[in-house]
Structure 1
Amino acid sequence: MTHLLRRAGNRAQSGARGTLNFIGFLFSWLSLGLIMGVLVLGGIFYLYARDLPDHQQLAQYEPATLSRIYSARGLIMDEFARERRIFTPIDEIPDLVKGAFLSAEDKNFYEHPGFDLRGMVAAMVQAARGETLRGASTITQQVMKNFLLDGERSATRKIKELILSVRAESTLSKDDILELYMNEIFLGQNSYGVTAAAQTYFAKTLEELTPAEAAYLAAMPKAPSNYHPVREKEAAVSRRDFVLREMFENGYITAEEFEDAIASDLLTVQSGDVLSSRDALPSRDYFTDEIRRQLGEKLEGGEDELFTGGLTVRATVDPELQAAAAKALRARLEEYDRSRGVYLGPVATIGADTLTDESGWRTALAASRAPRDVVGWIPAVVLEVGESSARIGIEGVEDDEDGHFLTLGDADWIGRIRDGDRSGGKPTTAGALYRVGDVVMVKAITEGGEFQRWSLRQIPEIEGAFMAMDVTTGRVLAMQGGFSYQHSVFNRATQATRQPGSSFKPFVYAAALDSGYTPASIVVDAPVEVESGGEIWRPTNSSNRFYGPAPLRTGIEQSRNLMTVRVAQDIGMDRVSAYAERLGVYDDMPEYLSYALGAGETTLFKMVAAYAMFGNGGKRVEPTLVDRVQDRYGRTIYRHDQRGCRGCEAEEFAGELPWIWDPARQVMDPVTAYQLSSMMQGVVSRGTAASTVGARLGVPISGKTGTTNDAKDAWFLGFTPRIAAGCYIGFDTPRNMGSGAYGGTLCGPVFADFMEVALKDHGSFERPQPPNTVFVKIDRFTGQRLPDNASGEQVVTELFRRGEEPSVGGYGTFVDGGFAMGADLPLFSREEGGQSAQSVTRDGQRKVIRTSPSFGTLSSGGLY
């Protein structure tokens, strides 16, 4: 028995030793395997960790954010962006929004070291069970993927992601990482970051979001296209509700808020239930597009800085004046277009197969490229054509029981159709004018506030531009580069180079006044012949007549070509050219005599800027569309106003007041500027712009009309001591605009319409008298000095440099421009009548001119 017990004990001990040996063997192998696994894993991590991007660069990360343009009154005008993103610091993001994203993406964000081990294990278990694979990436890992790695789905990228996440957590705070995530994440509809997405989907700020709206945004990072609020609404609501449930369980919303949010509908901009924040902005126009073009040249980073730098741009535009400029120019272009009586056809066409129901034609019409930036004009599509009318569907206007119609009678201004195969004479039926699917522009005609009918409108073929600026600061207050920006983005104020015609003459007269002329100098209005390039050039006055000698003032008031040519010939085109270049009209003006009559090409932008220097007393002024540009941190990187101020830094003013000085360079003699302004007032009060500008405004405005040969270009530019403005009208491909097309008749009314608005807050029109000058009364027909008490229609008060004024009863200098004349030429003529008088020539000699000149006397050196 004892023996058996001993043997059993030995077997038990042997079994125990075997078990212990096995356990030891297993432990050894497990330990060895673990060590090897750690070594292998460490080696893998070491291998992949060597060439990883520098995560510390995230501390200096500046995301591409949109730039905004504000008007002079602080209203948002436009936005420029490649990625629609509005950077928002983490401390300005509401807890509700942060809670929504943490609940949806990484509820353990503030506890884990950069990766969520529990989430990774749960994901692996789900994958092993064959369940839907869930993501296990933390917000930190997503930031590393979005900023430093590519988006490939591979084990290699996940390893790099983990390494970078741990590193980032050691150098960046949790809030820094969350800030990067919430400003970088793509949330669909070209929206990056939560702030831009809140505007895109709900037209709200982050503070205005409801729990349901915040949850919807938090649902988007997973796959924005899968949760579109219209096309995938059911999936979007389901995912939103999941996020809401997580928010409730994580304590970010109450039970009551959860129930209300779950029960709410998904109402977004995309579904049409919310008005887009972009819709609240004005349509992009010539002004903001020109800002884009000019800032692209001025900014160190070029146009890319504007689209990605998060800049705040304060524009110079005055919204009221901009609206007045657009309205005035459009009204005159349309008036001229309708006077021609030519119908150019529809702005677009829609296939008949899309017009079968209201939903179809409204969708097709919304997608058409009809312009929508002309106030009062609405796109419409022709649905049916009858004998005398056409039924139309109008964008944004509900159909009524009777329908909407365009009648043939409304189109009685049309005398000819010029539109492909339907071209012809005056339409006698609606079918000759309209076809089903035509997209046309219409306007509601009202009387006494009551709707009367819909009227057909068309974009004019003729184009033009208008611009106005402050003569002291150079701030461009309004700019309209054409009839419709959406129809044609070509800015005719800055990009169209056209012949200024007679509107260039003030530069000739300014050079003359600087060269010894006075407003009372007598210049001969007689034929001229110039040999140029082996050919004879014979300039003429617009009337094809000549009027004999007349004061310099008359030459500019009546826009006498022959007087201008003689003046330019006398002083030399080199002086005229230098003057035009100094004032910025041309960069390098050829010294051709024809340029004195505006034969060269320049832009309205340059002409208005030069006229502004006439108005401000001859100081250099640079036109600008931008007052100030600030970067994303509020630092000023560009400021137009370079005036200095002494004492402006003081918190309180005691005794001496702040003093502002202007460093602007004097580019024109102040006396010349004053004399020229006075002479150009005569253009408006009794000259070529009297009927269209002077008679309407009734204030002392200086200006000049301009019309080129064959009436291809029409101009009017004018200025006061505060504002300069100008208009240009012509076909984009230059051609004759017809009889009666002059600068005064076409552009004069545009200027007058605009100035009626601009003059409301104008203030004084007084100009300071330059030092060392005297005022003298002159007969504006003869140039003879009159007594100080003289009065009458012929009397005009002229400014002279002290010592250059004629004596009482005397005359100014006599100028023939270098072209020989007979000695019996009359001194002057009151329009077309004449009388004899005594002349003082430029060399100081006096001669009596007979009243009846011979034919040869009026010739130009016998050459004509």
Structure 2
Amino acid sequence: MGRAEERRARQRGGRRAAPKSHRSSATAGKGAIRRLFTWKKILGTFFGLCLLGMGAFIVLYMVIDIPEGNADAKRQSNIYKYSDGSIMARDGKVNREVVDLSRVPKEVGRTFVAAENKTFYKDAGVDLKGTARGVVNTLSGRGAQGGSTITQQYVKNYYLTQEQTVTRKLKELVISLKLDREKSKDYILAGYINTSYYGRNAYGIQAAAQAYYRTDAEDLSVAQGAYLAALLQAPSQYDWAVASEGGKKLVKARWNYVLKNMVEEGWLSQSERDGMKFPVPKDPRPAPGMEGQKGYLVNSANATLEKQLVAEGTASNRKEAEALVNAGGWTITLNIDKKKQAALEKSVQQQLNSKLDPDKREVDADVQAGAASVNPKTGAVVAMYGGQDYFKHWSNNATRTDYQPASTFKPVILAAALEEQAKTQDGEPINARTIYDGTSKRQVMEDGSKVGFAPENEDDRDYGPISVQTAMNKSVNSVFAQMGVDVGMSDVVDVAGKLGMDTENMEAVPAQTLGSMGASPLQMAGVYATLDNHGKKVTPALVKSAEHLNQTVTMPDPVGEEVISPEAADSVTSVLTGVVDDGTAQESVRDNPGRDGQQVAGKTGTSDNNKSAWFTGYTPGLVTSVGLFGEDNKPPYKQVPMYKAAGKPRVDGGGFPARIWAEYTFGVMGDVSKFDLDTQQGAAVQPTWTPTPTQSQTEEPTQEPTTEEPSSSPPPTTEEPSSSPPPTPSTSPPTFTPPTAPETTPPTDGDPFDPVKPGDEE
């Protein structure tokens, strides 16, 4: 071999040597890892941890004994206070009568097993997977989840507390295992059904049987037992008397689930199941001391606190939150102002209840009032009216959401138009002076095509060309139906949600412009409070503070961020002063002797077929929504018309609701104040009249209000209503340019109780 070949061989050898050294280093690293994490060491560590856990559990099992039952001993009264600290009510007396399982029909007892724990008669008293999941969730801050056995739930109800801690869960596990070994299944089941909370202040099956069916536990049917068993999952949500439509569907589904499991387990034949009908519970009997408005306020305060306990993670669901609140020991201070509360109650009594006589007119027994009053600067609910008496009418009319708000929704449409800077079909900006076609039953148009919606105005009145301001004053349906489409109904719904309405089930369709969704006085008070607060979100807050021993629950701030611009909110306020000064609320609010120059904004509303009537109004410092609802006073409490109530042809938003509002507001408002508005429209509408208490609504029609800076265009003038037909409507809304001919303003509403055909809306 020559020298050159030897040199090349050495070079090749050198190049090969380097990778060999690299592989050796990597192999050494991997070997070290393998030596550190051998399968023997991993397996040994696993078994070591298991033995350690088993040892710890054995120690716990030996150390923890079954304690004495202390559920009743720990129960205390809840104290409810007005905002000034004075006592409003006390609640918390235990309503329980323990009954032996032998007195409960066997099939009824099994409904609870079918509902909560089908393996109850076979398991060892615990659900290890459910408990482990609960421990993990507690450690991670996500709260507890379901999955506990009947034994575990009984232990939690009777021996322990509802607190969400790892210690409590481990104790629950140990005690449940011991209890299952030492006691019979019948003993545990009896304890469970006798200690569980069923709602309506009923603890135990005997109290629940009386509270819901006016019978003893021994006389319960299987269908009734299945309802009580289903109820335990969410007592307040599933109580048929106060449940929403969604809650009723859920409890019916739960009831069906219980009976289905009964059939599957062979405890009930299919033929027996097929013959069962849902057993609607009877009306609740209020607890002593809850008469008048107190029961409504206490129940609403409890619901508020329960919701917050879930929100902050103290309870994982409403059922646990209810148990915590009903365990007692709470001091709950409400935002209710004692003087304003008394004034609101007095106003409803004088302006409505005293004028109803069911002995003369059956329909008078069907009229229900609800109201909520809110401070727009703080969000505090300062007064609430839930009904004539909690003993006589259990449903809170201030918070119920099953009646239509009708035309009180129109300001939301205008707010959306201003916020979205919307334009008419002709491309003109929408504001208070924009001219629309107010012809009744006019087809709503979109991009030159009909949308298949032609709403009728109140009394089928035709207004012809009319400004947005006057359309709001007169509550012209055809104008706001077109405006809703001009804005875009999805945007209208979006703004409604921002202002505080529940839009979960609100469809973005033109029919919603008539206020055909459901809403409560409390909800509408919040919407208008947000407008009054210059666009900053106001969520009405009933509870000021809640304390339990050393625990203080932090309530959320009622006043939030800006949800619509101040100019949009203030412009709506400006327009709404016209409803009072020149529209449907003239007689009841504008001319009220107690007004004393107070500036007021508001809107009336009367729903389809006169089933509800509203006035929601505000001053700079107080927002109040008053609703009247037609409800049959006999089961099943259906919505009914209020025609001829109190001897009037119909109940109108400008009548009783506005009168209740005016007497209450002007009686508690304090100093006279003016709106501070950020709008080109100035400080609202300038009517052409001077308010006097004796002025009649039959005066000469007024001039179209000027809502912007004066321009070179001549303003519309007034003239006496003529007998000539209104102008022929165009195929699309008139534009912003005022008509060259004087605008003919139809007569005002006159008597707010003028007859109206079914289906008309104000």
Q: What TM-score, normalized by structure 2, do the two folds share?
A: 0.52
Q: Does 1:306 align with 2:341?
A: no
Choose which of 794, 804, 814 in structure 1 pairs with 2:703: 794
Distance 1:780 1:283, change over 3 A: closer
One-letter amino acid of the structure 2 residue matched with residue 303 of structure 1: E
Task: Figure out how many residues of one structure are paired with residues of the other and give that number.
Answer: 446
One-letter amino acid of the structure 2 residue matched with residue 518 of structure 1: N
How far apart, CA to CA, are the structure 2 residues paired with 1:71 and 1:321?
11
The alignment's C-alpha RMSD in Å is 4.3
One-letter amino acid of the structure 2 residue matched with residue 297 of structure 1: K
Q: Does 1:676 align with 2:590?
A: no
SS in 2 for 1:539: coil
One-letter amino acid of the structure 2 residue matched with residue 507 of structure 1: V
Choose which of 478, 489, 504 in structure 2 pairs with 1:562: 478
Distance 1:580 1:473, change over 3 A: same
Partner of 1:241: none
Partner of 1:525: 438
Partner of 1:571: 487
State the shift of 1:683 in Å. Answer: 0.8
State the shift of 1:767 in Å. Answer: 3.0
CA contact (8 A) 2:525 2:616 kept: yes
SS in 2 for 1:682: helix
Choose which of 290, 304, 309 in structure 1 pairs with 2:300: 290
Deviation track 1:490-525 (CA, whole Å, cap 9, x = no partner) reads 111112421111111111111122324221222221
One-letter amino acid of the structure 2 residue matched with residue 807 of structure 1: S
State the shift of 1:283 in Å. Answer: 7.1
What does 1:427-506 correspond to in 2, within 5 Å?
460-506=365-411
Distance 1:599 1:536, change over 3 A: same
CA contact (8 A) 1:499 1:602 kept: yes
Q: Does 1:606 align with 2:515?
A: no
Q: Percent identity?
A: 24
What does 1:58-137 correspond to in 2, within 5 Å?
63-83=74-94
Q: Does 1:315 align with 2:232?
A: no
SS in 2 for 1:718: strand
One-letter amino acid of the structure 2 residue matched with residue 623 of structure 1: P
Partner of 1:237: none
Partner of 2:607: 708
Distance 1:461 1:737, change over 3 A: closer
Query: Bigger CA drift: 683-692 or 523-532?
Result: 523-532
Q: Does 1:768 align with 2:685?
A: no
Partner of 1:509: 414
State the shift of 1:567 in Å. Answer: 1.6
State the shift of 1:780 in Å. Answer: 7.8
CA contact (8 A) 1:557 1:688 kept: yes
CA contact (8 A) 2:613 2:652 kept: yes
Partner of 2:509: 592
Partner of 2:108: none
Partner of 1:689: 585
Distance 1:689 1:463, change over 3 A: same
State the shift of 1:809 in Å. Answer: 2.6
How far apart, CA to CA, are the structure 2 residues paired with 1:680 and 1:69?
37
Distance 1:641 1:775, change over 3 A: closer
Larger Rg: 1
Distance 1:466 1:622, change over 3 A: same
How far apart, CA to CA, are the structure 2 residues paired with 1:711 and 1:575?
28
Q: Return the structure number with greater strand share.
A: 1
CA contact (8 A) 2:437 2:733 kept: no
State the shift of 1:83 in Å. Answer: 4.7
Distance 1:830 1:315, change over 3 A: farther
CA contact (8 A) 2:67 2:159 kept: no
Partner of 2:459: 543
How far apart, CA to CA, are the structure 2 residues paired with 1:496 and 1:846?
40
What does 1:133-172 correspond to in 2, within 5 Å?
none
SS in 1 for 2:458: coil
How far apart, CA to CA, are the structure 1 residues paired with 2:370 and 2:534?
26
Distance 1:616 1:148, change over 3 A: closer
Distance 1:680 1:50, change over 3 A: closer
State the shift of 1:640 in Å. Answer: 4.0
State the shift of 1:479 in Å. Answer: 0.9
Deviation track 1:173-216 (CA, whole Å, cap 9, x = no partner) reads xxxxxxxxxxxxxxxxx9xxxxxxxxxxxxxxxxxxxxxxxxxx
Choose which of 545, 560, 573 in structure 2 pairs with 1:628: 545
CA contact (8 A) 1:549 1:829 kept: no
Query: Bigger CA drift: 685-694 or 733-742?
Result: 733-742
State the shift of 1:666 in Å. Answer: 0.6
Distance 1:54 1:764, change over 3 A: farther
How far apart, CA to CA, are the structure 1 residues paired with 2:326 and 2:292?
19
CA contact (8 A) 1:777 1:795 kept: no
What does 1:378-389 correspond to in 2, within 5 Å?
none
Distance 1:74 1:591, change over 3 A: same
One-letter amino acid of the structure 2 residue matched with residue 682 of structure 1: G
How far apart, CA to CA, are the structure 1 residues paired with 2:84 and 2:64?
46
SS in 1 for 2:469: helix
What does 1:738-757 correspond to in 2, within 5 Å?
738=643, 739-757=649-667
SS in 2 for 1:664: strand
State the shift of 1:709 in Å. Answer: 2.2
Distance 1:541 1:829, change over 3 A: farther
State the shift of 1:691 in Å. Answer: 0.1
How far apart, CA to CA, are the structure 2 residues paired with 1:545 and 1:56?
76
How far apart, CA to CA, are the structure 2 residues paired with 1:590 and 1:641?
30
How far apart, CA to CA, are the structure 2 residues paired with 1:596 and 1:845?
21
The answer for unaligned runs of 5 or more in structure 1 is: 1-48, 85-146, 150-189, 191-277, 344-413, 419-458, 643-662, 782-791, 812-826, 854-864
SS in 1 for 2:573: helix
CA contact (8 A) 1:524 1:563 kept: yes
Deviation track 1:504-549 (CA, whole Å, cap 9, x = no partner) reads 11111111223242212222212412599x9954312113121211
Q: What TM-score, normalized by structure 1, do the two folds share?
A: 0.46
CA contact (8 A) 2:387 2:393 kept: yes
SS in 2 for 1:285: helix
One-letter amino acid of the structure 1 residue matched with residue 466 of structure 2: A
How far apart, CA to CA, are the structure 2 residues paired with 1:76 and 1:777?
42
SS in 1 for 2:537: coil
CA contact (8 A) 2:603 2:616 kept: yes
Q: Does 1:721 align with 2:638?
A: no
SS in 1 for 2:655: helix
Deviation track 1:110-130 (CA, whole Å, cap 9, x = no partner) reads xxxxxxxxxxxxxxxxxxxxx
How far apart, CA to CA, are the structure 2 residues paired with 1:764 and 1:503?
25
